[in-house]
């Protein structure tokens, strides 16, 4: 079976083509679908086995990155998204997609049920704040896959090298205790790290935005939903590596997508 | 002010963090602009809602839409007369800022939409603002100064000390008014007075042509007609100066003889015709120049300027500049895949007191322009991959903002011919008074208290609306739904529909145009420069399919008329004909301008001191830290240069991703082969001041050698020209323009690099209140669009391995002292670039970097920084800092040296010499010159890291 990946396009999404390319290379059949096509019934959620919320500036980041997309998800597709999440299908939100998943209360999904409870947004415990540097930044970052619970990062040995491109990526929590719970529940999927894999320790530019506990990506308690700020879909080929002319290669983003597709096929241990 | 029965609610959103980065950045800017008394500054968000909303709805809106519960707090209330949340005691003073009514406010539109999505009833309108809590010893005058200097720009914003009263756009009386403007009886003075009154910028000969036309038609023109002719015949649209007949006065006759019949025809297009490259698909005809990419695709490129808007409203000016050039590329049915920006500003340390009255500080202009480029490019998802930033006092009152866009399209997919019967379809945003006749109108709108809806002469862009246009137009292209497409730019519909119908004719009903708000007169609808609109020629049978695409992507579609075969442009409003002009007159009727030029002799510049070769280390470190040469990473990194996943050679490169690339290499997503696109530029205002002809040669050469340095095939480079000059009615100014155009021709023909598109921005002068003219240095930007056969053969500028050899490639011919000190083109450069390219194709070159400002020493230092490796140079006879054209440094493995040298064997003159060795010792060393500097010191100076001060690192 070749799983079908729904690459969600909201008004202002712009990294959908790269996400589609990543899923195609990983062995899925991606389709970029606008929210309106799902609202009108022209496309049906049930026809897809993977859900990807791609990067970009949905609704121009008005009122905070991802917030209005989160509102759309809650208002129009609460049941469909909940079904995707609860039926243990792979879901990934990259950059703006991560922001939307957090602001919709789907991530970190604290409480264990991994679903979007009614009124989740009021009670949510985490957010993605403005970068500590105070502005948008585009630079390559090293990520350490840190969770075995997360199906997207499970058994990944190699670090991932890929760019960030955001102004609101600083993972922040209302209560520091949440950080401990996320770690204890193995929900910290990806952290910003140094070249030897050790923690960035909040140090700029390794941790590019001041995220708490160097968190670049988190998963829900069940492990099937991953959200991350950096763009693994922008490092699929050797020639994208910033130092390929110096003979450097590897640390691509593709293994994440391969994991997700394998999981959808029931092939991930 | 507000209609009866509607309340106004006010929401104030504050960051919970005490050290919120946005507030910190405002405070830093305030100090940099000389307002030292301010000690604290806290920035908050303001929202205003007009409507009838119940308390639960307000709370819902406040907590679910307007604020983030983790990082922000929110207070709200109904505005009764003045109250609402007031600053708590001890918080200091308050300045509140909001957009003027009529200025695009995409956030406000989203607030209304979000309320609808959430099912909150009664939200009629919204508006946004910022609230600043100011701490420190500022009196009222000090607060006004802070507001004017930093927080509010009167062009688009208004402010109040204390609480600001919100203003919402409310319908004014619908007008429908059309004036007759009698011209037939006017004498010369009367014609000129009419031109001035309508701000038409038409000269006597042009006004007489208008008069003759209406005498022939036997009637008087309407205001719609006069405005349309003025727009169609404007410098912006028809390039009057570049088409003018120029009478040359000079002791040495110029190449074109004593009379030049059009600079464009004589020099720019002539070069393209002379070169006659078979891979040029479109030059100077479409909205963008187009060349072949591979068997499947073609690539287009356009560079525009947005100088005056950026001077008065830096964010909005640059923002809409980027948006406009992206639409140019969409206007050739291409997918926008890369953006470029070249920016010229006044020195950032200009004393505030020295600024001419009414001029924004260069620091504020730079931060606004950079933010404007960032906002549009990042949000629309187009990587900003190449550019430059230059500083010169001449740009203080007149910054230059060049915005470029590259597009990719399947070959032969761009239809160009509207058919009679096709519908005239407008896609995109609504039409307002945006940009109408610039300053006159905006000054009428300054009084926001009237609540009148007015257009500002500069608008804020809306990249997300334009993103929707891209989604729809590209799909419509693939489904072959239209016969022609163009963008709405300067002149709005009048220009877009006018151009599209110039070979056929069209009939338009202005009443059908979708307006942002009512009350526009017909000429305003027709001329409005509202952003984010495209015009398409669509046959009836394809309208449903186009509408279906628009429904998916939330794009508005309006059918405003039909194309005809009648050779006339006819515009109606509510059944009345308000414009009826012959196409031939409108597009061919403009008389050729007659201009006088005096060719200036190149300046002899004894006064500019040569770099100090006696203390080369000090000179080098100072050069590295000089604003024009120092690292631009702080700007580059706030542009997204990775989106679309095709950036193969990035703007910053090397061992620590911080070395300055010569050019960008792109491998567009979706293309099958290994081929790539190379983008580079050349610009040198310093040379422009001294010798316009050699400046043009030099900047063409710079663009070429930058492209070649990363691996572009010199046989496949196309050029774009952008001239920014002063007032061409001054013969000396026009003379230097003539010389630059002549240089363009000579250099393009020499390199076989055709011009495919160009643009000129003239009259870049500012009359200060001191009565002084502040003119820019003559500035020519050459943008190069090159191809590379295999992106895996691209070369970056960072040194790669110790033990490799460093070659100087090219003829080292610095300009002689006593002349203009602008170097010539070396006769062998073209052949050398081809030879260098051959050696790159064989993989013989490990690193390559061009010599430009700062000469050999600066190029070598940058290569060291890029690779964090040392370099030992042995070239005692070469001046370290002299500037020359045609030269590059190339790093070659010892084993490859014979093959590399053989590539140059056929040259008449020695085209290369080995001048050094890459070393693991982290020093740039030139023993003969007494130069030895640690690479980390070079890097610290160049990156202007805080630890750097020029002396302590020696």
List of chain A residues whose C-beta atoms are within 8 Å of the C-beta of residue B641: 138
The dihedral built from the CA positions of residue B406, B412, B414 and B417, taken in this order, carries a sign that is positive
Facing A174 at nearest CB: one of B70, B113, B796: B70
Average pLDDT over residues B569-595: 94
Given a cut of 50, is residue B87 above it in pLDDT?
A: no
Catalytic residue among B31, B60, B170, B236: B236
Facing A57 at nearest CB: one of B379, B648, B667: B379
Closest alpha carbon within chain B to A174: B70
The pLDDT assigned to B818 comes to 60
Q: Which of B103-117, B167-181, B622-636 has the lowest mean pLDDT?
A: B167-181
Whether B113 contacts chain A with CB within 8 A: yes
The pLDDT assigned to B234 comes to 86
Q: Describe the crossing of helices B362-380 and B463-478 by its angle, rounded to 10 degrees.
A: 40
Domain coordinates in residue numbering, chain B: 7-161, 805-943
Multiple choice CATH, B805-943, 3.90.650.10, 3.40.50.300, 3.40.50.2300, 3.90.550.10: 3.90.650.10
Q: Which helix (H) or strand (E) holds B15?
A: strand B7-15
Q: Across all residues in chain B, what is the average pLDDT?
A: 90
List of chain B residues whose C-beta atoms are within 8 Å of the C-beta of residue A75: 117-119
Residue B540 tokens read as 């009836």
Given a cut of 50, is residue B614 above it in pLDDT?
A: yes
The pLDDT assigned to A110 comes to 63
User: How many Cβ contacts (< 8 angstroms) between chains A and B?
Assistant: 167
Q: What is the percent of chain B with per-residue pLDDT over 90, rounded to a whole number?
A: 74
Q: CA-to-CA distance for B473 and B489, rounded, in angstroms?
A: 17
The pLDDT assigned to B80 comes to 75
Token pair 């014979």 is at which residue? B898
Average pLDDT over residues B271-287: 96
List of chain B residues whose C-beta atoms are within 8 Å of the C-beta of residue A14: 379-381, 467, 643
The stretches in chain A having pLDDT less than 50 are 112-119
Q: Per residue in B212-221, pLDDT tens?
A: 999 999 999 9
Contacts of B136 (CB under 8 A, 6+ apart): B37, B38, B39, B40, B92
The pLDDT assigned to B114 comes to 93
Whether B647 contacts chain A with CB within 8 A: yes
Q: Which of A162, A168, A170, A185 is nearest to A114 (CA)?
A: A185
Q: Per residue in B165-176, pLDDT tens?
A: 888 876 654 578
Backbone phi, psi, residue B84, to 5°: 115, 180
Report B:360-389 residues touching A (Cβ under 8 A): 374, 378-381
ipTM over 0.90: yes
Instruction: Give the domains, in start order, of chain A with CATH numbers.
Output: 4-116+132-264 (3.40.50.880)
The pLDDT assigned to B429 comes to 87
The pLDDT assigned to B454 comes to 40
Mark yes or no for CB contact A127/B68 under 8 Å.
Answer: yes
Residue B569 tokens read as 């442009």
Token pair 């004589």 is at which residue? B266
Reported as a pLDDT band with limits 50, 70 and 90, residue B198 is: confident
Q: Per residue in A225-269, pLDDT tens?
A: 999 999 999 999 999 999 999 999 999 999 999 999 999 999 987
Q: CA-to-CA distance for B722 and B738, rounded, in angstroms?
A: 14
Mark yes or no for CB contact A63/B70 under 8 Å.
Answer: no
Given a cut of 80, is residue B518 above it in pLDDT?
A: no
Residue B647, SS3?
strand
- Residue B308 bears catalytic tag: no
Q: Per residue in B412-464, pLDDT tens?
A: 999 999 999 999 999 998 888 777 754 333 323 223 333 333 445 677 889 99
The CATH T-level fold of domain B7-161 is: Mth169; Chain: A , (3.30.1280)
Residue B444, SS3?
helix
Q: Which residues of A164-180 are buried (b: 16+ CB within 10 A; e: fewer)?
A: bbbbbbbbbbeeeebbe
Reported as a pLDDT band with limits 50, 70 and 90, residue B858 is: very high
Closest alpha carbon within chain B to A243: B654
- Residue A34 bears catalytic tag: no
Q: CA-to-CA distance for B39 and B43, rounded, in angstroms?
A: 13
Q: Per residue in B628-649, pLDDT tens?
A: 999 999 999 999 999 999 999 9
Mutation target for A interface from B335, B634, B637: give the one with most A CBs within 10 A: B637
Whether B648 contacts chain A with CB within 8 A: yes
Q: Describe the crossing of helices B188-197 and B204-217 by its angle, rounded to 10 degrees.
A: 100
Catalytic residue among A95, A162, A193, A219: A95
Q: Where are the beta strands (DSSP E) in B762-846?
A: 765-767, 773-775, 779-788, 805-809
Q: How far apart are the first and last CA of chain A?
A: 17
Reported as a pLDDT band with limits 50, 70 and 90, residue B18 is: confident
Q: What is the percent of chain A with per-residue pLDDT over 70, rounded to a whole number?
A: 95
């Amino acid at each position: 079976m070749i799983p079908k990946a729904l690459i969600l396009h909201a008004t202002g999404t712009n990294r959908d083509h790269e996400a589609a390319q990543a899923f195609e290379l990983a062995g899925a059949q991606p389709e970029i679908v606008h929210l309106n096509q799902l609202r009108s019934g022209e496309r049906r959620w049930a026809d897809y086995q993977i859900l990807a919320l791609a990067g970009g500036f949905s609704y121009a980041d008005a009122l905070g990155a991802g917030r209005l997309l989160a509102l759309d998800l809650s208002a129009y597709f609460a049941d469909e998204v909940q079904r995707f999440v609860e039926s243990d299908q792979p879901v990934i939100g990259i950059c703006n997609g991560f922001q939307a998943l957090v602001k919709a209360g789907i991530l970190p999904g604290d409480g264990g049920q991994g679903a979007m409870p009614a009124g989740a947004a009021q009670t949510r415990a985490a957010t993605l704040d403005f970068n500590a540097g105070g502005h948008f930044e585009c630079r390559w970052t090293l990520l350490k896959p840190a969770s075995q619970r997360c199906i997207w990062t499970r058994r990944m040995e190699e670090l991932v090298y890929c760019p960030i491109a955001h102004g609101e990526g600083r993972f922040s929590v209302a209560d520091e205790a949440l950080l401990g719970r996320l770690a204890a529940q193995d929900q910290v999927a990806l952290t910003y790290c140094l070249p030897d894999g050790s923690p960035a320790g909040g140090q700029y530019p390794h941790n590019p935005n001041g995220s708490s506990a160097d968190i670049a990506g988190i998963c829900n308690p069940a492990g099937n939903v991953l959200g991350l700020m950096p763009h693994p879909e922008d490092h699929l080929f050797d020639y994208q590596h910033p130092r390929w002319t110096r003979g450097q290669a590897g640390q691509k983003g593709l293994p994440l997508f391969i994991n997700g597709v394998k999981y959808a096929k029931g092939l991930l241990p | 002010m507000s209609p009866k029965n509607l309340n106004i609610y006010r929401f104030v959103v504050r960051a919970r963090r005490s050290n919120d980065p946005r507030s910190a950045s405002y405070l830093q800017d305030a100090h940099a602009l000389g307002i030292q008394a301010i000690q604290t500054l806290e920035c908050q968000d303001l929202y205003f809602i007009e409507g009838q909303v119940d308390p639960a709805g307000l709370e819902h809106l406040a907590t679910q839409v307007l604020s983030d519960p983790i990082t922000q707090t929110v207070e709200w209330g109904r505005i009764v007369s003045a109250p609402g949340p007031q600053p708590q005691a001890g918080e200091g003073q308050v300045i509140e800022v909001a957009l003027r009514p009529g200025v695009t406010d995409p956030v406000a539109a989203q607030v209304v939409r979000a309320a609808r999505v959430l099912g909150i009833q009664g939200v009629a309108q919204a508006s946004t603002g910022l609230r600043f809590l100011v701490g420190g010893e500022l009196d009222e005058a000090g607060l006004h100064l802070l507001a004017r200097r930093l927080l509010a720009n009167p062009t688009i914003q208004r402010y109040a000390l204390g609480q600001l009263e919100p203003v919402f756009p409310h319908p004014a009386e619908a007008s429908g008014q059309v004036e007759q403007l009698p011209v037939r009886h006017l004498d010369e003075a009367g014609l000129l007075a009419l031109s001035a009154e309508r701000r038409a910028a038409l000269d006597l000969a042009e006004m007489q042509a208008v008069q003759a036309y209406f005498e022939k038609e036997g009637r008087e023109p309407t205001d719609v007609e006069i405005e349309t002719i003025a727009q169609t015949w404007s410098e912006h649209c028809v390039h009057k100066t570049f088409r003018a007949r120029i009478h040359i006065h000079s002791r040495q006759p110029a190449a074109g003889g004593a009379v030049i019949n059009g600079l464009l025809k004589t020099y720019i297009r002539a070069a393209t015709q002379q070169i006659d490259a078979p891979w040029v698909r479109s030059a100077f005809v479409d909205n963008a120049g187009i060349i072949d990419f591979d068997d499947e695709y073609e690539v287009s490129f356009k560079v525009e300027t947005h100088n005056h808007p950026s001077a008065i409203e830096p964010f909005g000016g640059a923002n809409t500049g980027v948006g406009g050039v992206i639409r140019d590329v969409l206007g050739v049915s291409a997918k926008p895949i890369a953006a470029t920006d070249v920016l010229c500003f006044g020195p950032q340390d200009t004393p505030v007191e020295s600024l001419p009255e009414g001029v924004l500080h260069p620091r504020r202009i730079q931060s606004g322009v950079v933010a404007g480029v960032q906002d549009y490019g990042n949000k629309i998802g187009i990587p900003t991959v190449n550019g430059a930033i230059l500083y010169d006092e001449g740009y203080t009152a007149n910054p230059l903002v060049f915005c470029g866009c590259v597009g990719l399209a399947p070959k032969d997919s761009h239809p160009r011919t509207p058919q009679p019967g096709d519908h005239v379809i407008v896609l995109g945003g609504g039409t307002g008074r945006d940009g109408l006749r610039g300053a006159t109108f905006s000054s009428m709108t300054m009084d926001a208290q009237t609540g009148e809806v007015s257009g500002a002469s500069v608008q804020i862009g809306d990249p997300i609306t334009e993103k929707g246009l891209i989604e729809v137009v590209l799909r419509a292209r693939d489904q072959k739904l239209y016969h022609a497409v163009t963008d709405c730019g300067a002149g709005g519909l009048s220009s877009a529909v006018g151009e599209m119908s110039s070979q056929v004719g069209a009939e338009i009903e202005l009443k059908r145009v979708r307006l942002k708000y009512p009350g526009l007169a017909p000429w305003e609808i027709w001329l409005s420069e509202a952003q984010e609109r495209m015009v398409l020629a669509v046959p009836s049978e394809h309208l449903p399919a186009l509408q279906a695409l628009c429904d998916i992507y939330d794009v508005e579609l309006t059918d405003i008329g039909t194309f005809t075969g009648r050779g006339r442009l006819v515009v109606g409003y509510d059944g009345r004909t308000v414009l009826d002009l012959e196409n031939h007159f409108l597009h061919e009727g403009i008389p050729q301008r007659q201009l006088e030029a005096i060719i200036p002799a190149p300046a002899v510049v004894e006064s500019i001191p040569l770099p100090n070769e006696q203390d080369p280390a000090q000179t080098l470190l100072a050069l590295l830290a000089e604003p024009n040469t120092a690292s631009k990473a702080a700007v580059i990194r706030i542009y997204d240069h990775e989106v679309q996943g095709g950036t193969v050679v990035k703007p910053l490169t090397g061992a620590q991703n911080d070395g300055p690339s010569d050019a960008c290499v792109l491998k567009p997503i979706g293309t099958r082969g290994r081929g790539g696109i190379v983008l580079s530029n050349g610009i040198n205002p310093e040379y422009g001041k001294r010798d316009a002809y050699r400046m043009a040669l030099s900047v063409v050469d710079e663009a070429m050698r930058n492209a070649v340095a990363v691996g572009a095939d010199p046989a496949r480079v196309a050029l774009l020209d952008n001239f920014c000059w002063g007032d061409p009615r001054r013969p000396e100014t026009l003379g230097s323009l003539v010389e630059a155009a002549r240089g363009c021709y000579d250099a393009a023909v020499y390199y076989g690099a055709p011009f495919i598109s160009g643009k000129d921005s003239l009259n870049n002068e500012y009359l200060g209140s001191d009565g002084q003219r502040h003119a820019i240095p003559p500035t020519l930007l050459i943008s190069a669009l090159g191809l590379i056969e295999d992106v895996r053969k691209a070369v970056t500028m960072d040194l790669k391995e110790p033990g490799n050899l460093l070659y100087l490639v090219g003829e080292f011919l610095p300009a002689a002292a006593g002349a203009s000190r602008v170097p010539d083109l070396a006769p062998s450069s073209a052949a050398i670039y081809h030879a260098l390219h051959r050696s790159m194709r064989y993989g013989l070159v490990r690193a390559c970097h061009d010599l430009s400002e700062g000469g050999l020493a600066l190029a070598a230092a940058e290569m060291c920084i890029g690779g964090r490796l040392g370099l030992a140079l042995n070239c005692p006879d070469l001046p370290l800092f002299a500037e020359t054209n045609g030269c590059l440094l190339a790093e070659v493995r010892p084993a490859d040296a014979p093959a590399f040298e053989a590539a140059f064997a056929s040259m008449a003159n020695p085209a290369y010499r080995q001048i050094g060795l890459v070393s693991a010792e982290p020093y740039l060393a030139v023993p003969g010159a007494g130069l030895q500097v640690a690479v980390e010191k070079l890097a610290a100076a160049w990156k202007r890291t805080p630890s750097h001060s020029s002396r302590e690192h020696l």
